[in-house]
Amino acid sequence: MAIKPVLRMGEVSLFESSEEVCEFNTAALESLLTDMWDTMAAENGAGIAAPQIGVNLQVVIFGYENNLRYPDEDSIPQTVLINPVITPMSDDMDEGWEGCLSVPGMRGLVPRFTHIRYQGLDQFGHSIDREVDGFHARVVQHECDHLDGILYPQRIEDMSYFGFCEELESNHYFQI
Ligand code: NI
């Protein structure tokens, strides 16, 4: 069990692109994934990307049965996704509230593709190929953005819908 400190926005490495993973089923990868699952669980995250714990590799994890940070959303299967490629299945975009463990205490309204296909590999090098929509699609786009050095505030179109959770909630923008 190793809960790692989560790097916060402002840290230069969060804005860098991550390297592809070339070796699978290794002790180093397993240890990275254990740290990521432990850190995500400790912070009640819906997902986390390796760069958030200071490792600039193309590795993200996401998924949960019930999530305290997003209590109204459907469950997402727990997934390890490495070297991901996202393909939008249509031009349709949806706006939804997002938070990020690297931007604690804040939320913002972010446009994302509604319906995507994502492909990649798991920790054993087995291929993953799924077509998803809704919050599942949103979470995957958010996590994979971390691998391109993009944090969700950079995607917000109207900055009046970005702020601290308590203030946004008291404006009835959303319920925590
Ligand atoms: Ni994030």
Confidence of residue 170 (pLDDT cuts 50, 70, 90): confident
Active site residue 73: no
From CA 141, how far away is CA 75, in angstroms rounded? 16
pLDDT digits (tens, 9 = 90+) for 17-46: 999 999 999 999 999 999 999 999 999 999
Whole-number pLDDT of residue 1: 63
Domains, the chain, with CATH or none: 12-170 (3.90.45.10)
Whole-number pLDDT of residue 175: 57
| pTM summary value | 0.95
Give residue 68 CA to ligand 1 midpoint distance, Å.
16
pLDDT digits (tens, 9 = 90+) for 43-70: 999 999 999 999 999 999 999 888 888 8
Give residue 155 CA to ligand 1 midpoint distance, Å.
12
Give residue 171 CA to ligand 1 midpoint distance, Å.
24
Give residue 125 CA to ligand 1 midpoint distance, Å.
24
Q: Please pick, among 23, 43, 143, 169, the residue that the annotation labels catalytic.
A: 143
**Secondary structure of 27-62 in the HEC alphabet?**
HHHHHHHHHHHHHHHHCCCCEEEHHHHCCCECEEEE
